[in-house]
Amino acid sequence: MIAIQSKLPHTGTTIFTVMSKLAEEHQAINLSQGFPDYECDEKLIGFVSEAMRKGFNQYAPMSGLAELRSVIAEKVNLLYGANYHPESEVTVTAGGTQAIFTALSACIHPGDEVIIFEPAYDSYAPAVKLLGGLVKSYELAPPNYDIDWEMVKKLFTVKTKMIILNSPQNPTGCILSEKDIKALIKLTKNTDVLILSDEVYEHIIFDGHKHQSVALYPELYERSFIVASFGKLLHTTGWKLGYCLAPENLMKEFRKVHQYNVFSVNTPMQIGIARYLKDPETYQHLSSFFQQKRDLFRTLMAETKFKLLPCHGSYFQCVSYEHINQEKDTDMAVKLIKEYGVASIPVSAFYMRNNDHHVLRFCFAKKQETLEKAVERLTKL
Ligand SMILES: Cc1ncc(COP(=O)(O)O)c(C=O)c1O
């Protein structure tokens, strides 16, 4: 056996794999991982298979199919009034995670510091570390996970290279407000600090709130990468397609990395998605579609002993159980699978350091009957 020196010595199997495997073993209802248990639109599948049958099965251009980049630029303009040039400022990627990794790879040098807000999507910190960067984490606390921008200011040093945002947020379902963005603008003004804005849940936002995309703020344009996911937008997480927006000089560096680790992305799906998204109706209904699911899940969960935390966006609902018992959340999640037949994710998995917050995350991007069956089991607790 040849031993290699691990670049991520403290990283094991992700909690998502662990929980999903355990859920399978115990035939539990899986509300752990973030993906729908229902089908995407038949029309979209028709467009993709038609492209395959018509022979569009070879490499796409490195930056993505021109039709798709144009549709993306139009969508961003329609929603946020921003003008990203499809030729030089939009790149189609193999999902949001690849876009995040590529943006980080293009910018982070050893010793650079990257600020993240925890609980955080699990790819950020390992990606920064792989590149020799240092993660400066700001640990937010339940129930509201509010950001105190004075605290963020304290994390800034001469080595701060980037700040990663995620709104609507996984796992908390929190969203950034206009006030947050104004504070961010003030903090980064006259600095070279970059922003990586993970907006994969941009279309899943509730109660009439407006998604505070970085694209709404011209002041942030020059320093920002914006990442989006067609998996979340089209209920097709298994297709692994997304995109990145950035000003031309940043995108040039992004594409240098992209061309050597991915080169180009699935052609027939790009054709199908470009055709499908020409009609804004395909994404304008998404928030109300998921709001119905959130409302149903919250109404059902109100009958359990769990305490519901606020959920303003994303397809995740967090619950607190500190008033029920003081078990660690990983133990509580395992107990829910083994004894009650429902899988969730312990929110401590989204922090680098241990904490005792006693919060679990459930994914409600599921059929009504799945949610009803799961909550029926949880009421037995
Ligand atoms: C916050 C966040 N960013 C990025 C991603 C990854 O998106 P994709 O599946 O397109 O790689 C996810 C997926 O769960 C996510 O929750």
Give the pLDDT of residue 371. 97
Structure confidence by residue, pLDDT tens digits, 266-304: 999 999 999 999 999 999 999 999 999 999 999 999 999
Q: What is the predicted pLDDT for the residue at 356?
A: 84
Smallest CA-to-CA distance from 103 within 204, 221, 252 is with: 252
Which of 32, 97, 98, 244 gets mutated to test ligand 1 (max ligand atoms within 8 A of its CB)?
97
Ligand 1 center from residue 19 Cα (angstroms): 18
279 Rama class: left (phi>0) / alpha (psi -120 to 50) / beta: beta
Task: Say if residue 280 is preceded by a cis peptide, omega within 30 of 0.
Answer: no
Could you state, in order of their start, the residue ranges of all structural domains in the chain? Answer: 15-40+284-378, 42-280
pLDDT value of residue 111: 98
Q: Which CATH number fits domain 42-280: 3.40.640.10, 1.10.10.60, 3.40.309.10, 3.40.50.2300?
A: 3.40.640.10
**3-class state of residue 228 by DSSP:** strand
Separation CA 245–CA 196 (nearest Å): 10
Expressed in angstroms and rounded, the spacing between residue 269 Cα and the centre of ligand 1 is: 18
Atom of ligand 1 nearest to the CA of 198: 3
Reply yes or no on whether the pLDDT at 113 is more than 90: yes
Pocket test for ligand 1, best of 232, 273, 350 (most atoms within 8 A of CB): 232
- pLDDT confidence tier of residue 10, bands split at 50, 70 and 90: confident
User: Would you call the peptide bond into 171 cis, given omega within 30 degrees of 0 as the criterion?
Assistant: yes
Contacts of 63 (CB under 8 A, 6+ apart): 69, 90, 91, 92, 255, 258
Residue 318: beta bridge partners?
361
Among the listed residues 69, 58, 123, the one whose alpha carbon sits nearest the alpha carbon of residue 92: 69
249-261 mean pLDDT:
97
146-173 pLDDT, tens digit each: 999 999 999 999 999 999 999 999 999 9
One fold for 15-40+284-378 and 42-280: no
> Does residue 200 have its Cβ closer than 6 Å to ligand 1?
yes
pLDDT at 33: 87
* Class (C level, CATH) for 15-40+284-378: alpha beta
How does pLDDT run across 207-249, given as a tens digit for each residue? 999 999 999 999 999 999 999 999 999 999 999 999 999 999 9
Over residues 167-195, the pLDDT tens digits come to 999 999 999 999 999 999 999 999 999 99
Cβ of 170 closer than 6 Å to ligand 1, yes or no, is yes
Q: What is the pLDDT of residue 379?
A: 96
Residue 242 CB less than 6 A away from ligand 1: yes
Q: Is 243 in the pocket of ligand 1 (CB under 6 A)?
A: no
CA of 261 to the centre of ligand 1 (A): 18
| Mean pLDDT of the region 342-367 | 94
pLDDT at 16 over 90: no
Mark 290-326 as b/e (b = at least 16 C-beta within 10 Å). bbebbebbeebbeebebbbbebbbbbbbbbbbeeeee
15 pLDDT exceeds 90?
Answer: no
* Span 52-80, pLDDT tens digits: 999 999 999 999 999 999 999 999 999 99
For ligand 1, mutation pick of 118, 198, 229, 239 (most atoms within 8 Å of CB): 229
Mean pLDDT of the chain: 96
User: In one letter, which amino acid is 341?
Assistant: G
Distance CA 96, CA 375 (A): 30
